[in-house]
């Protein structure tokens, strides 16, 4: 698939991630990832896809209302950059659907690593923004597991599934978000990752 989202073409030739599929398997084992989780996450993807803009509205409202979080989106003038916020938003939306729908193979790992680098050593480069904050602080990357997990539940419930299915989708989403943050934490300490 070729997309028009800057920095988000899965067909690009990306560098191979230092994270291997063997590393991924151990992380999935740590998360007790199961075939049921995989099925529930696929269903979650179908439920969430038509709601992506509403989810992003909620998440951007949350980030925008916390100055220490929106600081990651500042431009060189020390003010939030509308261009940067908008470019990241497009990728964030694609991340939601990709997380649920893409096979978790080496190409996906390569892509996760590209995102991880975009939070650290290449931050701002894709969007041509020389942000004074040169990295997304690790503490907030970790903390985001909570809001990104907790706020998704009403959107999962909006798909009309029974309560057990909503629970299963929410569990799979929680695991998938935790996995994502684990993968994105790699560039912060490659030697002890």
- Contacts to its own copies by CB under 8 A: 23, 26-27, 29-32, 66, 68-69, 120, 135, 137-140, 142-147, 149-150, 171, 174-175, 178-179, 181-183, 185-186, 188-189, 192-193
Burial class (CB in 10 A: 0-12, 13-18, 19+), 38: middle
Give the nearer residue to its own copies in terms of CB position, either 8 or 118: 118
How far is Cα 96 from Cα 91, in angstroms, rounded to an integer?
Answer: 9
Give the nearer residue to its own copies in terms of CB position, either 84 or 144: 144
- Beta carbon of residue 43, minimum distance to its own copies (angstroms, whole number): 19
Q: What would you measure as the largest C-alpha separation in the chain, in angstroms?
A: 49
User: What is the residue whose two structure tokens read 């894709």?
Assistant: 126
Give the nearer residue to its own copies in terms of CB position, either 69 or 158: 69
- Beta carbon of residue 163, minimum distance to its own copies (angstroms, whole number): 12
Give the nearer residue to its own copies in terms of CB position, either 106 or 120: 120
SS3 74: strand
Q: Which two tokens mark 45?
A: 């993807």
């Amino acid at each position: 698939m070729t997309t028009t989202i800057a920095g988000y073409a899965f067909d690009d030739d990306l560098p191979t991630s230092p994270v291997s599929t063997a590393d991924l398997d151990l992380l999935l084992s740590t998360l007790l990832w199961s075939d049921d989780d995989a099925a529930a996450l696929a269903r979650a993807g179908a439920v969430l896809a038509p709601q992506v803009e509403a989810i992003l509205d909620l998440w951007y409202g949350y980030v925008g209302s916390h100055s220490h979080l929106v600081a990651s989106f500042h431009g060189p003038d020390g003010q939030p950059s509308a261009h940067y916020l908008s470019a990241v938003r497009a990728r964030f939306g694609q991340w939601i659907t990709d997380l649920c729908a893409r096979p978790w193979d080496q190409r996906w790992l390569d892509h996760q690593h590209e995102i991880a680098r975009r939070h650290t050593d290449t931050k701002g480069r894709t969007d041509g923004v020389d942000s004074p904050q040169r990295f997304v602080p690790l503490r907030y990357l970790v903390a985001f597991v909570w809001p990104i997990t907790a706020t998704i539940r009403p959107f999962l419930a909006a798909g009309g599934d029974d309560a057990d299915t909503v629970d299963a989708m929410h569990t799979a989403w929680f695991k998938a978000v935790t996995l994502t943050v684990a993968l994105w934490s790699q560039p912060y300490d490659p030697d002890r990752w």
